[in-house]
Chain A
Amino acid sequence: MNQALDRSRDFDHRGRAWYLDRAVTVFVFIGGTSAILFIGGIFVFIAREGLGFVFSEFDAGEFFGSIAWRPTSVLDATYGALALIVGTASITGLAMVVSIPFSLAAAIFIGEFARGRVRELLKVLVELLAAIPSVVWGFIGFSIMNSLIIDIFEVPIGLNVLNAGVILGLMAAPIMTTIAEDALKAVPDGYREAAEALGATRWQVIRKVVIPAAKNGLVAAVLLGVGRGFGETMVVLMASGHSINIPDSVFDSVRALTATIAAELGETAVGSDHFRALFTLGILLFLVTFAINLTADTIMRGIRRKGQRANP
């Protein structure tokens, strides 16, 4: 494609069209590389504030080992993020327990069983599920789920791991469903036909052929779901109870990394230790989600390559 065009240019008059073409090439190249610029910019600007804290006040033992997040204490401010990390992990963990079985079931049903209009309708509904803004989910947790949990389980407070975990599970489900369905779709039809020709029922085909072949893609889908849950802010701010705590049960309130930033950033002085400590939490969030996305992408790129080989 490039070569053909380069040769044709030799015959051109280098008129207005040619220069315009060059200018556009430069313009779209800048646009294309802007994504790299932005993701780099995000890291630079967060690190600019956060690394100053890491190199001065930061104490890794305290940060990862202490649950005392007391940034506003005048005499003895401590920055122990352990409870926040555990809070995020417990909510995300419960969300995945809720979300993974349902998302994979939905992906298999939509991808392999549903046909025609039913399938189109289900896909649209999953898309609508994905469209509900996180603040609305948070509000649902804060108002409806809260009283529901209090009534059903007879606990004093309904803003807890269970509440945030279930809501987060519902939020993470659409992305997992969509990507898992893509992974199933990427399995060549020839595999299915071969198994069917041997007399397998559709479920046998799915269980013995399609799922093993799509395994990596399903793992990537789950990873992206984890990433989504891990980084969600408004839901965990509104539905988790937001109290620093190592939870014993799903009925305990916890506080998450993202929610801590959201709750405290507005009340800190720019450039203070507290302000920079919040950016340090941001670095942690950035690095973890970056690692998750990178892993998921590596897995999916492997699949795409394999798919090309199987479907020449």
Chain B
Amino acid sequence: MTSASEQLFAGTSLNARDRRVEWLVRNLLGLMTALLILPVVIIMTLLVVRGGPVISWEFLTTAPVDGMTAGGIFPALVGTVWLVAVALVASVPVGVAAAVYLSEYAPDNWLTRAINLAIINLAGVPSIVHALFGVGAFVLFFRFGTSILAASLTLAVMTLPVVIVSTREALQAVPRAFREACWNMGATRWQTIRRIVLPNAVSGILTGVILEVSRTSGETAPIMFTGAAFFLPFLPQGVLDQTMAMSLHLFVIATQVPDAPDALPFGVALVLISMVLAMNALSIGFRVYVRGRKKW
């Protein structure tokens, strides 16, 4: 080992050639990183430049007219809010419970490993497979039909890993001594979780929930056949109605409505990506703020 290391490094160290290589590699890697990130900047610029002029208060608050070649996006915006809200109601309790189990209860055994594997696979299964599941399970088997309920449940299953993983991280960041102190006072495990662990982790959990909102509002494939409609002249009245959605609306306007003015899909894309990135920025900002405030 020693001799091999000597051959690798000794004597060759900080000579001029190595420094040049070092400088070169460093800048090359930096350049490649910049090139990878550049598209975000370009895409945002393009969307703002080409879609910006379309956006107005009227665009956000009126329905599409003239075969979706004019008018606004109001029903799609409302629909996305519906879908996200119902998905959150379904997935947050289950996700937090799962995270509490994994962080506070689960022994290191085959079942825990299986749960972790299932979480990884839920996150890794293609979105169109989630869509097939949604059709097979919620639309057909449970007879919800194509509805907000079916679409949202599909989204909830798909984004469950986001909630579980971020909540579990938040719970595990609470120091063990906090729990032990509480147990020593005679509290049950649940009392400890409710009074000590969850309050200290709530901001981390919230970060995960915001992230889930961001993920959910951009998904298209899972809702195409489970509850989102190409065009509806009215707003959904309940969870068993179909609805329009921002993501599907962008797909439809861009590919299925050839007469739509060029700027229109850019406007829709700009609104969609602004929603998603705003949620993401909020979640990142929240995380930084929480990290700064932590005293342990």
Contact = CB atoms under 8 A, between A and B. Distances in A.
Partners in one complex: yes
A19 B281 CA distance: 42
Which residue, of B43, B121, B131, B269, has the highest number of chain A Cβ atoms within 10 A? B121
Interface in A75-127: 101-103, 105-106, 108-110, 113-114, 122, 124-127
Given A132-B273, A136-B218, A286 B105 contact: no
A35 B37 contact: no
Contacts of A34: 94, 97-98, 160
Interface residues of A, number: 99
Contacts of A262: 128, 131, 221, 224
B6 A129 contact: no
B33 A199 contact: no
Given A41-B137, A109-B32, A201 B276 contact: no
A18 B14 CA distance: 66
Interface string B126-144: 1111111101110011000
B224 A266 contact: yes
A32 interface: yes
Chain B interface mostly helix, strand, loop or mixed?
A: helix
B97 A46 contact: no
Contacts of B136: 45-46, 48-49, 279
B37 A297 contact: no
B248 to A, nearest CB: 8
Given A35-B118, A133-B247, A201 B273 contact: no
Given A133-B273, A135-B251, A262-B224, A201 B18 contact: yes
A297 B120 contact: yes
B117 A297 contact: yes
A127 B280 CA distance: 8
Interface stretch (A57-65, A150-158, A226-234): A226-234
Contacts of B120: 293, 296-297
Contacts of A28: 97-98, 100-101, 104-105
B53 interface: no
Contacts of A41: 133, 137
B275 to A, nearest CB: 9
A115 B126 CA distance: 35
Given A32-B105, A102-B32, A293-B124, A282 B132 contact: yes
B157 interface: yes
Contact of B128 (A194, A203, A285): A285
A133 B8 contact: no
A231 B29 CA distance: 29
B255 interface: yes
Contacts of B96: 31
A139 interface: yes
A64 B107 CA distance: 44
B101 A142 contact: no
Given A124-B284, A290-B121, 13 more contacts: A35-B160, A49-B136, A122-B33, A126-B36, A127-B284, A203-B25, A233-B128, A238-B251, A266-B224, A285-B128, A286-B129, A289-B121, A297-B120
24 contacts: A25-B105, A31-B98, A32-B115, A34-B94, A35-B98, A36-B114, A36-B118, A42-B130, A45-B132, A45-B133, A106-B32, A109-B29, A113-B29, A131-B276, A132-B43, A135-B251, A136-B250, A139-B265, A195-B9, A199-B13, A201-B18, A201-B19, A285-B129, A297-B117
- What 4 A-B pairs are tightest by C-beta distance, nearest first? A31-B97, A133-B218, A231-B126, A32-B101
Interface of B: 5-6, 8-14, 18-19, 21-22, 25-26, 28-30, 32-33, 35-37, 39-40, 43, 46, 93-98, 100-102, 104-107, 111, 114-122, 124-133, 135-137, 140-141, 157, 160-161, 164, 183, 186, 188-191, 193, 214-215, 217-221, 224-225, 247-248, 250-251, 254-255, 265-266, 269, 272-273, 276-277, 280-281, 284
Interface of A: 2, 4-5, 8, 12, 17-18, 20-21, 24-25, 27-36, 38-42, 45-46, 48-49, 101-103, 105-106, 108-110, 113-114, 122, 124-129, 131-136, 138-140, 142-144, 170, 173, 177, 194-195, 198-204, 208, 224, 227-228, 230-234, 238, 258, 261-262, 265-266, 270, 278-279, 282, 285-286, 289-290, 292-294, 296-297
